[in-house]
C-alpha cells in the first residue's frame, strides 16, 4: 500500500530536506532558551539604572534580555578575545618581535531603527567588566559621513546613509591604524542634533583591548572594478561581526515610533536640523516618517544592508517586541 498524498513519505522528504539545509547552512541556530542556557555562571554586572543610560530612544531593553542574550554573548566573546590574545603573543614570541598589542575589533551592523546603538553600548559595558578586556572603545560610522555641504554639492543629501555618502578611505585608514596598534588614533564626531559632522571635534582611540565599530554598512564589500580588488573591505579588519535583524514591517514601525518621540523632544531644540518637523500634526508627522522610510531607509536596507547579513559572524533576530527570538552563530 502506497502513502497517500501529503502522507508519511512526503513528510519524510520534507524532514530530510530540512536536515540537509541545516547541514549545509554556515550557521548554527539557537532558540532564545537554548542560547540563554549558554550563560552558565556568568554574573550579571549591569543594573536597571545602567540599562536606562545605555538604551537608545525607542529601543527598550530589559534585564531579562541582557541575561538571556547578552551575557552568553559576552561570555563567548571574552573567550574569543582571550584566544586571539594568546595567539598574538605566541606569534610575537615566535618572531622574536617586541611587545605589541592588537585590538580585537567587533563590527555591529543592521538597519536604521533596529537597535544597533543599544546593542553596542550594552556589549561595551559587559565586555569592559571581563578581566582580560578592561579597555573597550566604541566608535560609530556616523562621523565618517561626508559633511552636509559636500553631500549637497554632490547631490547626495537624499542618499545620506548609503555607502557612497561615507568617506570609505578615511574608515579604512582609521581601522588600519587601530589594528596596527597605533597610539591616539582619531575618528570624527557626528551630531544627530545638527545632522552633520562636527568640524574639528574627534574621539581618540588609544590601543583598546576591544573596539566596537557600529554602523549601517560596516559589512559592505567594496564596489568597483579590478582596481579595487587589493583595497580591503571594512570587515577585513573585524575579528567578529554582529548583524541585528528584523522584518521590514517591524523596522518601519520602530522608525515611525522613534520619529514621533523625537518630534516631542530633540526636534524642539532650536538648533535641531529637524526643528521644522516639530510643529507637524500627528497625521502629518506619521506621513513624513513613512515617506522618509519608504524613499530612503527601505531602499538602503534592500540594496545595501540586508545583502550583507550572510557575512556576519552572528545574527540576532528580533521579534516585534524588540526581544531577540533567535541567535544564529557562524560555524567555526
* pLDDT at residue 221, as a whole number: 81
* pLDDT at residue 225, as a whole number: 47
Question: Is residue 137 assigned to a domain?
Answer: yes
Question: Is residue 11 assigned to a domain?
Answer: no
Question: Is residue 14 assigned to a domain?
Answer: no
Separation CA 61–CA 64 (nearest Å): 8
Burial level of 308, CB count in 10 A (0-12/13-18/19+)?
A: buried
* pLDDT at residue 142, as a whole number: 96
Question: Is residue 40 assigned to a domain?
Answer: yes
Strands of the 240-245 sheet, one edge to the other: 27-31, 324-330, 314-318, 240-245, 104-110, 210-214, 136-140
Question: Is residue 225 assigned to a domain?
Answer: yes
From the CB of residue 88, how many other CB atoms can be counted at a distance below 10 Å?
15
Residue where the block lists cell 565586555: 127
Contact 210, 136 (CB under 8 A): yes
Question: Is residue 13 assigned to a domain?
Answer: no
3-state secondary structure 63-105: HHHHHHHHHHHHHHHHHHHHHHHHHHHHHHHHHCCCCCCCCEE
* pLDDT at residue 175, as a whole number: 96
Instruction: Indicate if the alpha-carbon torsion angle 300, 119, 148, 238 is positive or negative.
Output: negative
- Say how many domains are in the chain: 1
Domain that holds residue 279: 26-330
Per-residue model confidence as pLDDT tens for the chain (332 residues): 445 555 555 545 544 445 555 667 899 999 999 999 999 888 888 888 888 888 776 677 889 999 999 999 999 999 999 999 888 888 888 988 776 678 999 999 999 999 999 999 999 999 999 988 889 999 999 999 999 999 999 999 999 999 999 999 999 999 999 999 999 999 999 999 999 999 999 999 999 999 999 999 999 886 654 555 567 889 999 999 999 999 999 999 999 999 999 888 888 888 888 888 889 999 999 999 999 999 999 999 999 999 999 999 999 999 989 999 999 999 97
Residue 112 maps to which CATH number?
Answer: 3.40.50.300
86 Ramachandran zone, left/alpha/beta (phi>0; psi -120 to 50)? alpha
Question: Is residue 85 assigned to a domain?
Answer: yes
Measured between alpha carbons, how far is residue 246 from residues 138, 301, 310 in Å? Answer: 23, 11, 14
Paired with 306 in beta bridges are: none
Q: What is the DSSP string of 125-177?
A: HHHTTSTT---EEEEEGGGGBPPHHHHHHTT-GGGBTBGGGB-HHHHHHHHHH
Question: Is residue 81 assigned to a domain?
Answer: yes
Contact 105, 237 (CB under 8 A): yes
* pLDDT at residue 271, as a whole number: 87
Burial of 135-157, coded b for 16+ CB within 10 Å and e otherwise, reads ebbbbbbbbbbbebeebeeeebe
Burial level of 306, CB count in 10 A (0-12/13-18/19+)?
A: middle
Predicted TM-score (pTM) of the model is 0.89
Query: What's the full length of the chain, in residues?
Result: 332
Separation CA 91–CA 99 (nearest Å): 11
* pLDDT at residue 44, as a whole number: 87
Amino acid at each position: 500500500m502506497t502513502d497517500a498524498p501529503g502522507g508519511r513519505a512526503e513528510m519524510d522528504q520534507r524532514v530530510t530536506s530540512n536536515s540537509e539545509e541545516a547541514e549545509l547552512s554556515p550557521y548554527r541556530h539557537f532558540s532564545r532558551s537554548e542560547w540563554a542556557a549558554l550563560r552558565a555562571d556568568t554574573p550579571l554586572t549591569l543594573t536597571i539604572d545602567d540599562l536606562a543610560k545605555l538604551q537608545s530612544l525607542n529601543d527598550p531593553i530589559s534585564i531579562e534580555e541582557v541575561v538571556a542574550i547578552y551575557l552568553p554573548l559576552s561570555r563567548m566573546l571574552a573567550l574569543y578575545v582571550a584566544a586571539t590574545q594568546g595567539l598574538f603573543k605566541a606569534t610575537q614570541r615566535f618572531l622574536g618581535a617586541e611587545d605589541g598589542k592588537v585590538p580585537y575589533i567587533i563590527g555591529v551592523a543592521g538597519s536604521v531603527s533596529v537597535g544597533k546603538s543599544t546593542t553596542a553600548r550594552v556589549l561595551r559595558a559587559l565586555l569592559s567588566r571581563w578581566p582580560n578586556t578592561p579597555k573597550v572603545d566604541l566608535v560609530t560610522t556616523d562621523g565618517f559621513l561626508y559633511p552636509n555641504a559636500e553631500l549637497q554639492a554632490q547631490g547626495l543629501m537624499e542618499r545620506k546613509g548609503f555607502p557612497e555618502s561615507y568617506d570609505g578611505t578615511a574608515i579604512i585608514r582609521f581601522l588600519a591604524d587601530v589594528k596596527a596598534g597605533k597610539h591616539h588614533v582619531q575618528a570624527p564626531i557626528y551630531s544627530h542634533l545638527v545632522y552633520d559632522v562636527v568640524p574639528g571635534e574627534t574621539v581618540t582611540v588609544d590601543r583598546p583591548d576591544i573596539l566596537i565599530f557600529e554602523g549601517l554598512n560596516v559589512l559592505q564589500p567594496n564596489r568597483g572594478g579590478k582596481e579595487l580588488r587589493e583595497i580591503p573591505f571594512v570587515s577585513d579588519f573585524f575579528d567578529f561581526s554582529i548583524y541585528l535583524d528584523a522584518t521590514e514591517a517591524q523596522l518601519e514601525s520602530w522608525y515611525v515610533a522613534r520619529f514621533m518621540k523625537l518630534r516631542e523632544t530633540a526636534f524642539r531644540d532650536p538648533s535641531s536640523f529637524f526643528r521644522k518637523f516639530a510643529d507637524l500634526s500627528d497625521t502629518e508627522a506619521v506621513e513624513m516618517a513613512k515617506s522618509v522610510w519608504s524613499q530612503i531607509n527601505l531602499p538602503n536596507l534592500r540594496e545595501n544592508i540586508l545583502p550583507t547579513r550572510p557575512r556576519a559572524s552572528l545574527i540576532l533576530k528580533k521579534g516585534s517586541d524588540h526581544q531577540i527570538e533567535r541567535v544564529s552563530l557562524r560555524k567555526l
